Structure 1
Amino acid sequence: MIDAATELYAEQGYRGTSLRDVAARAGISHPGLLHHFPTMEALLLAVLEHRVAEDVARFGLGAGRGVEALRRLVDLAAWNQARPGIVELFVVLSAEATAPDHPAHAYFTARYDAAAETIATAFADAQEAGQLRGDVDPDVAAHRVVALMDGLQVQWLYRRDAVDMAGELRDAIDGLLRDPLPGR
């Protein structure tokens, strides 16, 4: 059900998809879907939480410290280049959710706050280890990295052949560190 909803949201947007559409795509009855997800909002939040859980598990996001945590962000960007449907879904939903009445508004607000906090902590850890340039503020750098990641996703969706999300992100982070990220 979550995979079916993910596909449909990527194809039609959240507001263009109904629970009946998701049930049909998943091959179950509408009442069967309602048993698991009584509202569209519940299904949307399950889709978003599923994506985050997959990414956290695959890359250990939040587990690494300093430059290791920053390198994992680059790994995530590289992985996303193999998942255009997921990237498109995220871009569409995050844009739709800017409306305060959107059911995912609070989710995305919290997600952006958590992402900035996690990345700021990674930069602060790098600073403490002497790996961050002296003129870099970890909080400012974190917000810029979040903005860069989102902007690169939009550009990549338009020009997949010309935009390397992982490479651009790596270059930007490398520019903030005393030495390049490991694993190049």
Structure 2
Amino acid sequence: MDETRYLDRIGQLVEPGERVQAHAKAEVGGGLTPPPPPDEAVPETPGRATVSSVLLNLLAPLATWDRGDRLVDLIGWGIAGRGAPGSAASRLHRAVNPARPDGKLRHTLLAVTDRRLLVCVTGPVKVLSSREDDERSLAETRIAWAVPRAEVASARVGWHRLNPKRLRVDFADGSWLAFTVPIAESGRPLRAIAAALTG
């Protein structure tokens, strides 16, 4: 899908007089992320992650244990965000990764306006989509989460493991969350987001 079409749709979602300064299609980085907000937290079962649960997670990915999954994420991908339950990063992560996903693929769009940082989610997308599918997905794009720019402490793009294009957004409450694009895609949109947030 043409990336400029995202800009047109985001422009329709913002408040009157609000100007979009940068936008990018990106996904939350792989790895350990902040825990969900307290009202959505699922109590963990007692015990600790064992070597056997980690091995089982690697050998049979559909059989999961929360602590084992988190350890595998930490070892395989590193840390993609930090923050207390209910922090800005925790709420943002939950907004783009709901607790009960419907199993359909959606894209995450970041947008910086002169007032806010917006995180939008497209409608369901298909791997092999037609023009009509793309238009339907774009028409269903909505703002999933927004925060005033004053609550963003900093943003920067840098290396993380083998990916040179990881955007880290730090919030005023001390939490942070990372976003990435595939290695084959340009990092220019993420750098534009970082520049707009810090400029």
Q: TM-score range by the shorter chain?
A: under 0.3
Instruction: Name the structure, 1 or 2, with higher relative contact order (CA <8 Å, separation 6+).
Output: 2
Q: TM-score, normalised by structure 1?
A: 0.23
Higher helix share: 1
Higher strand share: 2
Q: TM-score, normalised by structure 2?
A: 0.21
